[in-house]
Amino acid sequence: MSTKAEQAVKPVERPFALIDSDPHAKRVMSYMRPSDYAVWASATATFPALQYLKQTQSPLGAMPKHMGTALKIGGFLGFVGGFLLAYQRSTFRFWGWTENAQEVDRDYKELSARAKAGLPLYGESSQPDYIQGVAFRNSQWSQLKFQAIPWFNFVNHPYHGVDTTKYYKEAAEKE
């Protein structure tokens, strides 16, 4: 018998294990790998570098006075774009779309410890159930539409698409 939280998640074919169908932004950030940070840094550096390279190829041959400002803006845009790309890569591992063995182990250890301590697995929320559901429905696939509007999950809710009994099982066996 499936729970309300499991029914809320649309079934999707995944090549790897599903960790969380709508992870909290804090979890996505904390599960980032060094390769994600490398992508973020590369994007931050690449955007202004390409701007500078394009300007050096200008037929006028001279750098405009405002080039410093343009490079700063380009660095900012590269920083934001790199962050969104790194965030999306981390989310894909939560969804099971890319290799995620490290994250599966870490998730199991963290949530089993929370279950053993008697804490809610995904944190407590002061929001009513209806609002938690709205937040879930609005943010579940939002990482696929970052080019339209960056939308992150900042609400703790019970809708994660995984069977949570596996976390409580270990805690019950030790008692």
> How does pLDDT run across 69-125, given as a tens digit for each residue?
889 999 999 999 999 999 999 999 999 999 999 999 999 999 899 888 888 888 888
Domains in the chain: boundaries: 25-173
Cα–chain-centroid distance for residue 29?
Answer: 6
Model confidence at 127, pLDDT cuts 50, 70, 90, reads confident
pLDDT at 4 > cutoff 60: no
Give dist(CA 23, CA 45) in Å, integer.
28
pTM: 0.85
Crossing angle of the two packed helices 67-95 and 34-56, in degrees rounded to 10: 150
67 vs 51, 78, 106, CA distance in Å? 9, 16, 45
| Least confident residue range of 16-25, 118-127, 162-171 | 162-171
